[in-house]
Chains A and B, each alone.
Chain A
């Protein structure tokens, strides 16, 4: 096991580095007199791209490879949740339905 001072060095280094990553553009944008049009348009697309990049692998990839069959309960659960998300735009309802379907499938199968 690593020595205590080394653990604390890691905690501090990762903490400071992570803060710098988080603060980077939030800080730098202060020095832009205005956000260039092209950049603003590109940045507006980030949420859709990032959210999808967070969701799709978490649903589709099982044990490191894409699983697009019905054996993958997460597919059905996410499908049902997507319908709820689309109809209600409600996070609580989306989570509740998605988890209920996944849990139900696990109990049935």
Chain B
């Protein structure tokens, strides 16, 4: 078993390059919120309380369009439904933790925290999971809040020519290849990716969920076939 400290530092090291991709989205989350008339406090409140970029941007856009409160809330929550998959996928690794720890982990659950942690937990049984997770998730939270504040104060001034936002899919790409360890995993990845492209026209990020569910189903089918 690694020490707590070593696992926490492991998490910090893993997340460091990933933070680059978070910066532009955090800036936009802050700048867009005040851009449509939210106060600075409301903009930061949104980032602290919700802490989920895509849904925040959707809520901001709908507020600007004058959508009813219920529509804004429902839209944001549907966009965050993908986290049900993350929750289910990471849950088996966290069963021995106290409810309080798991609640904290849930609050900090993001695309990046999920992807970095679940791939590590799957490949390495010796890491102290909660400390590794904390090492990954805490910097993501801090950078997100700092960038939101910066976006509120100075606006989102990331040069168009600098493709910082491309760091986000590159992060998931780097984690994807080691996550594919067998034929079922390969099928899940191929079908998941193709399904998400086919579903790219679906509203509310639902193509992601549709693709991932199709990928898992295909992988399970391949595994079941291989058992015979």
Contact = CB atoms under 8 A, between A and B. Distances in A.
A109 B153 CA distance: 35
A100 B55 CA distance: 29
How many A residues are at the interface, by size bracket?
35 or more
Contacts, number: 288
A86 B175 CA distance: 10
A2 B66 contact: yes
Contacts of B28: none
B66 A48 contact: no
Interface stretch (B3-11, B42-50, B124-132, B143-151): B42-50
Interface string A18-56: 110111111111101001001011111111111111111
Nearest to A27: B102
Contacts of A45: 184-185, 188, 215-216, 219-220, 223
B169 A55 contact: yes
B85 interface: yes
Contacts of B219: 42, 45, 48-49
B55 to A, nearest CB: 6
Contacts of B215: 45, 48-50, 52-53
Interface string B37-75: 111001001100111100100010001001001001100
Contacts of B51: 15, 18
A75 B18 CA distance: 20
B173 A55 contact: yes
Contacts of A99: 163-164, 166-167, 170
A22 B197 contact: no
Contacts of A6: 69
B77 A21 contact: yes
Interface of B: 14, 16-18, 20-21, 36-39, 42, 45-46, 49-52, 55, 59, 63, 66, 69, 72-73, 76-77, 80-92, 94-95, 99, 102-103, 105-107, 109, 111, 115, 118-119, 122, 161-164, 166-180, 184-186, 188-197, 200-201, 207-208, 211-216, 219-220, 223
23 contacts: A8-B45, A10-B72, A14-B76, A21-B84, A23-B107, A26-B94, A26-B102, A26-B106, A41-B220, A45-B216, A46-B216, A47-B122, A49-B211, A51-B172, A53-B207, A54-B196, A55-B173, A56-B192, A58-B168, A64-B201, A66-B200, A91-B171, A94-B171
